[in-house]
Structure 1
Amino acid sequence: MQVTYWLEHAWIDPAVESGVVVEVAADGRISAVRTGVEAPPPGATALRGLTVPGLANAHSHAFHRALRSHVQVGSGTFWTWRDTMYSYADRLTPDTYHALARAVYAEMALTGITTVGEFHYLHHAPGGTRYADPNAMGEALIAAAAEAGIRITLLDTAYVSSAIGDKHSGKAPDEHQQRFSDGTTEAWAERASLLKDRDHAKIGAAVHSVRAVPAGQLSTVAEWAQSRDAALHVHLSEQVAENEACLAAHGCTPTQLLAEHGVLGERTVGVHNTHMTDEDIALLGNSRTGTCMCPTTERDLADGIGPAVALQKAGSPLSLGSDSHAVIDLFEEARAMELNERLRTQTRGHWTAAALLRAATVDGHAALGWDDAGRIETGNFADLVTVALDSVRTAGPVAGLGAEIAVFAASGADVKHTVVGGKHVVRDGRHELVGDVAEALASSIGALRA
């Protein structure tokens, strides 16, 4: 059944058009786009405000949402934050993870996110005990995304050691990390192969980090992803300590180690890429390996500001993620990438608003393997996000309207409508499928903290 939307204003890269009709075919893809239509045609659903393509959250750890505000007591470090994170991970079961993730993904939909990349390493029961279904936790996430009305790329993550060791083995996982580990990457690949794509979900792969996957096992993960033409992500040089440990063990940086073992490439994305050498930047750019920046988490954990400008200039496509969900707002992530660079360099204008919006839309979707999403054009999925133009943040003249109002003025709270594959998921600021998302979050997080 065909659905028609009339967009009062729409960002159709690179410009904003007014009076845009989007026709959606039964498969959820855009079948036609017409501009200059002054009023909604009969039967069309009007989306008043500025509509942009659906946003892609390229890096998520859904269970970290339970940490918001709870880890802000005192100062601490990344490593003390990690200890608290482990304590929450220990409490999750497939059922409680499903409830939490469903609420988190609904919160994402409320802010205009239509696709999430879930960096998933919480595979087994506490202590490493296997569930009857070895992918029970991953399946819980896939089901949660469907019920929240968004797409997911489940980046099933190899995690077999707690610290860098020699080429073939690392330090054994500690008591908290045992549920992350399959023992070897061969066992990881066997389990991950049981997961299957479906209409709203793709299965990708991830190397948790060079700390968590010994050098001699990296190629197993890379080859698994390559054989499936699947997305492959990796936490990369997030911490100075990671670089120092890699140099001590292997005589090279983490980026150089990944290059040596065939991990880099066009379907690979390095997450954070914070502490890079010039050679690292060249390796990522020349291989077309992507970069996912997560500015709100990077600033929350005091990780540092990565060389995003240099990486993009070298040829590394940029995407954005909310990572630990200290904030879930892709407009803020896009804005923060530019503003961080302004603080670091004391100059302005490193990216146009359009370039930042591309990182949050089409390039983010490409990083997750959804090459047919992120644009308002024929053949793409009909993913539409409408930002109010009359909030206290966005109110002002419409003349000269561009991507700037979304990136530099709006917040996720200004999203009025989210349409995923032609289906209205958020209507007038309310989630059509989950209902009261705040109540769902309070219930699921409260159960974990009890």
Structure 2
Amino acid sequence: MPRVVTLPGFVNAHSHAFQRALRGRAAGDEFWAWRDEMLAEAERHRPETVRELYERTYREMRAAGFTAVGEFHYLGLDTAYAAADAADAAGIAYVSLHVAYARGGLERMRQPSVAAYVSEVERLRHRGIAVGIAPHSVRACPRDWLVELGRYAAAEQLVLHVHACEQPREVEECLAEHGKRPIELLADTGCLGPQTTVVHATHANGAELDLLRDSGSTICACPTTEADLGDGFIPAIRVLHRGIPLCIGSDSNVRIDPLEELRELEGIARRQDGRRGVFEADALWAIGGASGARALGLESWDEIEVDLDHRSLDGVAPEHLRAALVAGCGGDVVVSPT
């Protein structure tokens, strides 16, 4: 039996589990070409395929050290139930970030009105599934939807997650339609606040970061996906200086490894600031765990066991364990649950 140590589990605050099927595909030379293939993959899924693929993906997450996941789900209500069942079977704490989609995308993603969307959310809640409000983006939700969704999330005390400032074209289109940048529009429509998590923010400017800071909102960084899709990278130093809370997500699941997400986050910060140890080890563990749980509205999530006899930890002193895990280990140091 290996020697093990028990540590807090990691929380995956942003996942699109069906996109695990896309890993390794070339899918064009930029984000928008990749998106076309992603939509084609989304179109083919039915409850039975979601149930099977999501359970396998969630088991991968669990084996790598993620013990909770927020699934940013936009494949329709019928598959939302299947996704929750898959998480239960895989033994991972689950929050359905049920997506509001007014325009664009696929027909199966869209609701005809905010009232119809709220009805879907209430049906999920009636089933006992933990739910968050998730306007997909300022591209998918017009201003009036954002206003109503912000009000509903606040009234029901539900978390609100939204993609914003992921791509330059998204920013340009928002400016053309609204005369505001995406995070400025979210602030103007009442969608920012301590219960809000903005996913990516890779192209947020200083004024937008100030809005996130002042509202108490969180940023979910997804470094491996942002690298894979050519999104850019989080302005880590400016986020850190403002004290904006951070969490992590595996997003497209091109990689499923919380330690790699955290290592990439620290690596980005080092490149931006020209120094080492920008985020202390304990701060990175909080970003990987407690901050993600708070973003999902979770009060508890499982711990993990780490194999102290793993070759990546050979010779590491106990006081350096957490730093060594982030600096040089992968998810295979986690002892898979039986």
- 2:79 counterpart (137, 157, 162): 137
Is 1:115–1:151's contact at 8 Å kept on the other side of the alignment? yes
- RMSD of aligned residue pairs (Cα, Å): 1.7
Find out whether 1:293 has 2:212 as its counterpart.
no
- The answer to whether the 8 Å contact 1:108/1:328 transfers is yes
SS for the counterpart of 1:196 is helix
- For the residue of structure 2 that corresponds to 1:195, the secondary structure is helix
Q: Give the CA deviation at 1:228.
A: 1.8
1:191 aligns with 2:144: no
- 2:52 corresponds in structure 1 to 99
Structure ID, larger Rg = 1
Q: Is residue 66 from structure 1 mapped to residue 8 from structure 2 by the alignment?
A: no
Deviations along 1:368-419, one digit per CA (max 9) or x if unpaired, are 001x22xxxxxxx5x22112222222211435334202211221111114xx
Identity of aligned residues (%): 39
Change (3 A) 1:273 1:397: closer
Q: Secondary structure at the match of 1:204?
A: strand
- Mapped to 2, the partners of 1:234 and 1:243 lie a distance apart of 14
Aligned positions of 1:51-62 closer than 5 A: 51-62=6-17
Higher relative contact order (CA 8 A, sep 6+): 2
Equivalent position of 2:4 in the other structure: 49
The alignment partner of 2:94 has SS state of strand
Counterpart position of 2:208: 280
Q: What is the CA distance between 1:357 and its match in structure 2? A: 0.7
Alignment CA distance shift 1:72-1:393 (3 Å): farther
Identify the structure with the greater helix proportion: 2
Aligned length: 338
Contact 2:236–2:268, Cα closer than 8 Å, also in 1: no
**1:395 maps to 2:314:** yes
Equivalence map 1:2-17=2 (5 Å): none
Amino acid at match of 1:78: F
TM-score by length of 2: 0.96
Higher strand share: 1
Aligned to 1:238: 166
Alignment partners' CA distance in 1, 2:319 and 2:94: 35
What is residue 336 of structure 1 aligned with on the other side?
264
Q: Report the CA distance between 1:345 and its aligned residue.
A: 3.3
CA–CA distance in structure 2, aligned partners of residues 82 and 264 of structure 1: 26
Q: Equivalences for 1:51-450 in 2 at 5 Å? A: 51-69=6-24, 71-72=25-26, 76-123=29-76, 135-162=77-104, 173=105, 177-196=106-125, 201-370=129-298, 372-373=299-300, 383-417=302-336, 426=337, 432=338
Q: What do the CA deviations read for 1:122-158 (whole angstroms, capped 9, x no partner)?
A: 11xxxxxxxxxxx321110111100001111100010
Find the aligned partners of 1:412 and 1:404 in 2 and give their Cα distance: 14
TM-score w.r.t. the length of structure 1 is 0.72
Which residue identity does 1:183 align to in structure 2?
P
Aligned equivalents of 1:208, 1:98: Cα separation in 2: 22
